[in-house]
Each structure stands twice: as structure tokens, then as C-alpha cells.
Amino acid sequence: MAEGKPARIAVPKVRGVDIMRDPNLNKGMAFSLKERQVLGLHGLLPPAMLDQQHQVERVMVNFHRWENDLDRYIYLISLQDRNEKLFYKVVTSHIDIMLPIIYTPTVGLACQKYGLIFRKPRGLFITINDLGYVYDILCNWPVDNVKYIVVTDGERILGLGDLGAYGMGIPVGKLALYTGLAGVTPSQCLPIMIDVGTDNQSLLDDPLYIGLKQKRERGPRYDKLLDEFMKAVTKRYGDNTLVQFEDFGNANAFRLLEKYRDHYCVFNDDIQGTAAVAVAGIIASLKITGKKLSDNVFVFQGAGEASIGIALLVVMAMQAEGVSREEAIKKIWMVDSKGLIVKNRPRGGVTGHKEMFAQDHKPIDKLEDIVEAIKPTAIIGAAAVPGAFTEKLLKTMAKNHKHPIIFALSNPTSKAECTAEQAYKATEGQCVFASGSPFSPVQLKGKTYHPGQGNNAYIFPGVALAVVVSDIRIVSEDIFLTSAKSLAKLVTQNDLDKGRVYPPLSDILTVSTQIAADVVEFAYRNNMAHRFPEPKDKLEFIKSVQYDTNYESFIPHIYDWPVSGKL
Ligand code: NAD
């Protein structure tokens, strides 16, 4: 900086009460006396000043006063609408408390009640009736430099099914995590709901329903709308705008990913993000089991977006160990609602991605019998069938292997295949357990187990940040394998001793930052990054672009004139 030149300072374009009404500028009672006087706020606030740390404490007191998590969610969203920096300060300084509220499991409940709790729109609603006008709708969004979009059509919200326009809670929540967990600039984020109707009859009958009251559009008009949407995003915000597909129904999720992945900057978190987080947990578990990844045999309960995504990445990771693709596939067994997926299955054919995992074996219907026959070292649940991992099944896993890997990934908590307690008890504390939704620590025979949460939040915020800031145009599978390895590397012996294969959630900001740095490094090494010049120190580079939750000063010291009026 040239000597004598004042540091660049944020100068709001609005004044007075409009500053306080803008969540990007509002600091509540943290405005200094000078700021209050110069910006026309004097008298609009109580005379005391409260710094941000005290504001965080006040928020936490209020937060705990609410008696249930849905009320806490509503309280936090209203804080986000009022004072963005304070909201993110609270989230980043109490991540383990906030994550289950602004994301799963509470966000699921919030989506179910979205009509009731809806206060103020956040993001864009594009409906099937807007065909031909999608670009115009994007132009209604007041921000020009959007770089991160999370979009859903609400068909498969968590494990809760079709919630139509109520699914908007998911893109809103995911983008809050982009900022809270990876330091993405919030103004660059845009949540979008593509409303093509819903097949959820209770929503169609609900007078408070906020979405289109019609059955889901599924034909060529649906595809036309999505194609128009992708083109419109590129036209409005550029071809390096990242679009994260979230909670689309199974068929559309795979189809749209295949269609767009080589032409736009997109990824599907339910398929690819889940895969990375699960594979990270599996790689970390190898430090406990002492096996190679390719020594493992997997049974997947469910053959949908999550399971197929994980299985595909496991195959890729095994290939990286030197195993052939065919050999790797032989170690993966899938189970869907019609039982074990085998070639020429008499009851229910095998289609799509499942076909690749159809094994030469006789059909078996019951999961317990499948585990008995296949003797997997790892069982991964992602079918939203609560209680699917019975005591008998868990005991069989422990009988066959010293440290069976048991991942009960279905969300929300009510859909989990088993609880942490059930898994540790049935296996006498020998299993490597992880779940999709959080479970409290479990006491068993004088030892405390801290179950890890295989939360996608470890992966997608850091990956998204890396993709945008290093200008990666195509988000390949390698990027997810890199992020998985990076996350696994961050699991310490202390974590493993406590029984978890993920770092503590409270460290997630550091974790996301490191994952982003590793992905950026990978991208430059493999000619995938388009931002030049290449930053030398990737970690420093990531830190330099992260959002600062501390308040900015609106008054430069250089204008340190004497103020009139005293408190
Ligand atoms: P999906 O709809 O794509 O797939 C569900 C699969 O379950 C389908 O293959 C279906 O055939 C199968 N299924 C249904 N009933 C079954 C039964 N009785 N027995 C065996 N299989 C059955 O859904 P998805 O995206 O794969 O998500 C599934 C679950 O995983 C959800 O609860 C979701 O919240 C959870 N999930 C967790 C994480 C995580 O923990 N990080 C990430 C993604 C998804």
C-alpha cells in the first residue's frame, strides 16, 4: 500500500435505517458512536454498545431459551435475515450445536413445516410455468456476481420423500453451510427451487402449501425447463458458476448428472458428496481394521443415489490400490427393495447403474440372510428403512469380523438403520460406526464411544469453494476422491481412539479449509484450474478468499474527526 494512502474501507451505499434493514450491513448494537453519528443511526439504537462477542453470547442465551429445535431453527433463520455476520459468527463459533439445527436433522422438520414457518423468501422459485422466462427470473435476483447455486426440485428431501416447494429449506441450509463451514462469501450464493409440482397428496391438500398445486411434471417439459435453467445460469452468471444438484428424485438425479457433468460446472451432492464422505470414513477405518481397502467386502442396503455414488467411488479408490475394475466390482453387493441384486433376478429386474453391480449369485431376500451368506466386512445403510440393521445382523457382522464397519447413513435420525448404541452394544464395542445424523456418545463397559457423523458437510463446502476460487470448470470424480483422501488424512489417532472415523464437527472449518487447499493443489497439478497466476501456497490462498465473520468498520481512522454529542 502506498504510504499515506488510507486502507480501503467498506462504505455503505445506503444511510440511516436502511443500513440496519440490510442484513449484509447491519451490526445491531455493535455500531460505534462515530458510525451511528456519521451514518445517521444515532438515536435509532439504544445507547449502549455491544461488541460482536457479547452479541454472540446474547444469541446463545436466546437460542437455549427455546424449548424445541424447530423454534431454534426459526430463530436462527430470522437472525440470518437480520444480521448476516452475526449469524455466521454464531454458526462458526458453535458449529457442533448449530449444525444439527440449520442442517440435518432439524432442517428436515423445517422442510416438512415450511408452509407454517415461511416468513421471508430467500432464493428464487422457478416453476414449470416459467418455461421460456427462466433467464428473466434470474435477472430479478439483485446480485450480479453469484458463483454458487444449490438447486432442488424437492422430490427426495433427505429420507422424507417428495416435499415439493417445501424442499427449499435444503438449498437454503446447504448454502448457509457453504459460508459457515468453508467461508464462502454469502452474497455469491443463490438457493433455487425448481417447482414442477408435487406428488405428495397431503401437500396438495394443504391450504398452507406454498408451491405449485399440481402433480409433478415429468415429461419433456421437465427436461426443457432444466436445460433452459442451465443455459440461463451460464448466460447470467458465467460458465464458471457452480451448480450443486440437491435432493432430486433418484431417476432425475443420475440422469441430470450424466447429462450436464461434462458440459457445465455441476455436481450432485447426494451422489458424489455422499460418496466422498463415506469413502473418507472407510479409508480412515482402515487404520483400525489394519486392512487395505480392497481387502474389504461391502454390502449396501439400498441401491439409490447414496449407495451407487459410494460404490462407484469405492471402485475408483480400489483401482488406485492396483485392483482391476472387475475385481473391485466383485467386492460390492447391493440390496434394494427387492432383495440382493443378482444377475437374472426373478423378482424385479435390475436397471440403470444397479446393473453394473449385479452379481452371479442366487437371489436372497432378507438382509440378515444376505449378511450371513456374503460375510461383508462393511455394511452401509442408505435406504431410509429404520431398524434395518437388527441386533441379529449386527451380531453376525461381529461374529464374522473383528472390527466390522457399520455405517447407518439414512437421514433424518428417525430413518437410521440402527442407533449408535445398538451398534456398539451388539458388537461389544468392536464395530467402526458412523451415521448420517448425529448420535450422542455411548457408554459401554466403562468406555465412552463418540460416534462419527458421516456428514456430507465435511466435503461439499470445501469442494465448492475450491472449484470456484481456482476456476475449475468440470468437477470430475477425481476431485471427490481427492477430497475423501484429504478428509481421511485429517482423522487423528485421538479421533480413532474415541471410536470415530471423522474429525470432530467442531473442527469442520479447519477441515473444509484444508480440503479446499488439497483440491486446489490437485486441480493445478492436473491442469484443471483456470485461475492464473497459480497461487504458491494453496492453504494461504484459500484463507485469503474466505469470508470474514467479523464486523467491518464503516468509518476509516483517517476520518478521525472529533464527534459531537456524548453518551
Ligand atoms: P434413493 O431414493 O436414491 O435410494 C433409496 C434406495 O433404497 C433405493 O435403491 C431403494 O430401492 C432402496 N430401498 C427402498 N426400500 C428398501 C428396502 N426395504 N430394502 C432395501 N432397499 C430399499 O435415496 P438416497 O439418495 O440414496 O438416500 C437414501 C438415504 O440415505 C436417505 O435417508 C438419505 O438421507 C441418506 N443419505 C445420507 C447421507 C449421509 O449420511 N452423508 C448422504 C446421502 C443420503
Domain ranges of the chain: 101-264, 281-456
Distance between Cα 280 and ligand 1 center (Å): 19
Distance between CA atoms of residues 348 and 279, nearest Å: 29
pLDDT tens by residue, 347-392: 777 888 899 999 999 999 999 999 999 999 999 999 999 999 999 9
C-alpha 552: how far from its chain's center? 28
Q: Which among 103, 449, 547, 551 is annotated as catalytic?
A: 103
Q: What is the pLDDT of residue 499?
A: 87
Distance between CA atoms of residues 384 and 303, nearest Å: 11
Distance between CA atoms of residues 444 and 425, nearest Å: 7
Q: What is the pLDDT of residue 116?
A: 82
Mutate to test the pocket of ligand 1, among 274, 351, 365, 458 (most ligand atoms within 8 A of CB): 274
Q: Which atom of ligand 1 is nearest to the CA of 278?
A: 41
The hierarchical CATH code for the domain 101-264 is: 3.40.50.10380
Given this chain, do its domains 101-264 and 281-456 carry the same CATH topology? yes
Residue of minimum CA distance from atom 3 in ligand 1? 304
Give the C-alpha distances (Å, rounded to integers) separating 462 from 96, 181, 189, 215, 512.
17, 8, 14, 36, 4
Distance between Cα 339 and ligand 1 center (Å): 14
Annotation marks residue 103 as catalytic: yes
Strands (E), 364-473: 378-381, 405-408, 432-435, 442-444, 447-449, 452-453
Mutate to test the pocket of ligand 1, among 366, 409, 435 (most ligand atoms within 8 A of CB): 409
What pTM did the predictor assign? 0.93
Smallest Cα–Cα separation from 280: which of 164, 454, 147?
A: 454
Q: Which among 27, 34, 85, 174 is annotated as catalytic?
A: 174
DSSP symbol at 551: P
- Measured from CB, residues less than 6 Å from any atom of ligand 1 are 156, 158-159, 250, 270, 274, 277, 301-307, 335-337, 382-385, 409-411, 415, 436, 454-456
DSSP symbol at 535: P
Q: What is the pLDDT of residue 554?
A: 85
Mutate to test the pocket of ligand 1, among 111, 271, 272, 336 (most ligand atoms within 8 A of CB): 336
Low-confidence residues of the chain: pLDDT under 50:
1-8, 558, 566-567
The hierarchical CATH code for the domain 281-456 is: 3.40.50.720
Distance between Cα 385 and ligand 1 center (Å): 8
Annotation marks residue 559 as catalytic: no
User: Could you tell me how many residues make up the chain?
Assistant: 567
CB 479 within 8 A of CB 266: no
Q: Which atom of ligand 1 is nearest to the CA of 158?
A: 34
